[in-house]
Structure formats: C-alpha cells, structure tokens
Amino acid sequence: SQKIEQNSEALNIQEGKTATLTCNYTNYSPAYLQWYRQDPGRGPVFLLLIRENEKEKRKERLKVTFDTTLKQSLFHITASQPADSATYLCVRSGSARQLTFGSGTQLTVLP
C-alpha cells in the first residue's frame, strides 16, 4: 500500500525562525503532493500542491519541495508567526480522486 509518513508529531519553534516539516512516501512517487493546514475542530485548508516533475513551489512565506530520489517532500514556513501554529497535513494524490493523508505535524510557534 502507498504510505505517507510525517516524521514529527509535534514541532516547536521560535517566532521568526523557519519551520521545516518533513513528509516521506513509500513505493512509487505520487503524481502530486499536497499540503493542508488544519486548526482544532475545523476542516483542513489547502495550502500548496506540487507535481512530481516540479522541484519547488512557493506561495508567500510557504515553500514546498519534492525530491523523488529521497522520496520526500519538505514544507517550509519562513518568518514563522504564532498564527502559523496548527497541524499540517501532507497528502499524496493520484488518480481515483482520493487523497492519502499523513498523520500530520502539530506546529507550535512560540512568541
């Protein structure tokens, strides 16, 4: 089966620093990797999508990379703020219009 693993359950960083979250996948590369943010008791919110043939994608303070050799995606938040505190979900998607979610990393940005 295709697995998605997010290495850290929880990550604490100081405000202003860059947060780096890791997502590893098994077996074949997914066509797409997506990152979502989820706040407690709320639905996930889409942040970024990166295709298998893309190395890097950016959106404002967010950056995601896709390394098919390492079978890994890194998600960076630069100049982190306490408002960035949330659970971040890595998701692989391909055909059949379904997503496979990683278990998530709970990020806490300390003021």
56-75 residues near other proteins, rule: CB under 8 A: none
E strands present in 39-84? 45-51, 56-59, 62-67, 72-77
Using CB under 8 A as the binding criterion, the count of chain residues that bind other proteins stands at 23
Binding range to other proteins, per CB under 8 A, among 11-19, 44-52, 68-76, 78-86: 44-52
State yes or no: residue 102 binds other proteins (CB under 8 A): yes
Torsion of CA 2, 105, 19, 110, to 10 degrees: 180
Query: Please, what is the minimum distance in Å from the beta carbon of residue 16 to other proteins?
Result: 28
- Name the β-bridge partners of 38: 87
The one-character DSSP state at 84 is: G
| 27 binds other proteins, rule: CB under 8 A | no
Are residues 106 and 10 in contact, defined by beta-carbon separation less than 8 angstroms?
yes
Query: Does residue 31 belong to the site contacting other proteins (CB under 8 A)?
Result: yes
Distances (CA, A) of 108 to 1, 17, 48, 85: 31, 12, 20, 5
* Options 34, 65, 73, 80; binder of other proteins; rule CB under 8 A: 34
Q: For binding to other proteins (CB under 8 A), which residues are involved? A: 31-32, 34, 41-46, 49, 51, 89, 93-99, 101-104
